């Protein structure tokens, strides 16, 4: 009898969106998103390495509008059962980070950096499971 592992053939993906919350449009210049598994939180570099950035060619984003992105887990997009259990036990960690470079209405360049660690609560931890900003160096979450 063959046992089927639910989700075993599914890619592990991080999805996010950027939204213009100001009163004027933004022109998106470039972006990058990365998603990794590490053995220890201490293995996360103090400075993010965004790798190759995707040019967005000054794509306009009007107030209230958003644009979505996805990134597959690297280097392998599929977590096997053992790796998945290790994440739930906090024996290894998933983290995602990215950057959006954009121009404001006055053509000044800005960037928004974000980073999240997937948290799986253990023994009385009141925080919900899911991606959280805490646990990453400051360079991962800042804006200009």
**Exposed, middle or buried, 84 (CB in 10 Å: 0-12/13-18/19+)?**
middle
2 or 121, which is more confident? 121
Q: What's the confidence (pLDDT) of residue 4?
A: 45
Distance CA 92, CA 74 (A): 14
Express each pLDDT in 1-39 by its tens digit: 344 444 456 789 999 999 998 899 999 999 999 999 999
**Contact in structure between 134 and 125 (CB atoms under 8 Å):** no
Domain ranges of the chain: 13-143
| pTM passes above 0.85 | yes
Q: What's the confidence (pLDDT) of residue 8?
A: 55
Write out the two tokens for 17. Answer: 């969106």
Express each pLDDT in 46-105 by its tens digit: 999 999 999 999 999 999 999 999 999 998 998 888 998 999 999 999 999 999 999 999
56 or 124, which is more confident? 56
Task: Name the nearest CA neighbour of 23 among 74, 75, 63.
Answer: 63
């Amino acid at each position: 009898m063959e046992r089927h592992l639910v989700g075993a053939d599914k890619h592990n993906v991080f999805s996010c969106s950027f939204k213009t919350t100001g009163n004027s449009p933004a022109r998106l210049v470039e972006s990058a998103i990365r998603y990794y598994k590490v053995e220890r939180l201490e293995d996360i570099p103090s400075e993010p390495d965004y790798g190759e950035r995707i040019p967005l060619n000054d794509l306009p984003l009007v107030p209230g509008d958003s644009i979505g992105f996805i990134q597959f887990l690297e280097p392998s997009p599929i977590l096997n059962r053992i790796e998945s259990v290790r994440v739930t036990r906090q024996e290894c960690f998933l983290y995602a980070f990215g950057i959006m470079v954009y121009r404001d209405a006055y053509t000044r360049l800005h960037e928004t950096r974000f980073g999240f660690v997937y948290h799986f609560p253990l023994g009385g931890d009141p925080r919900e499971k899911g991606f959280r900003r805490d646990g990453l160096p400051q360079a991962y979450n800042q804006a200009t």
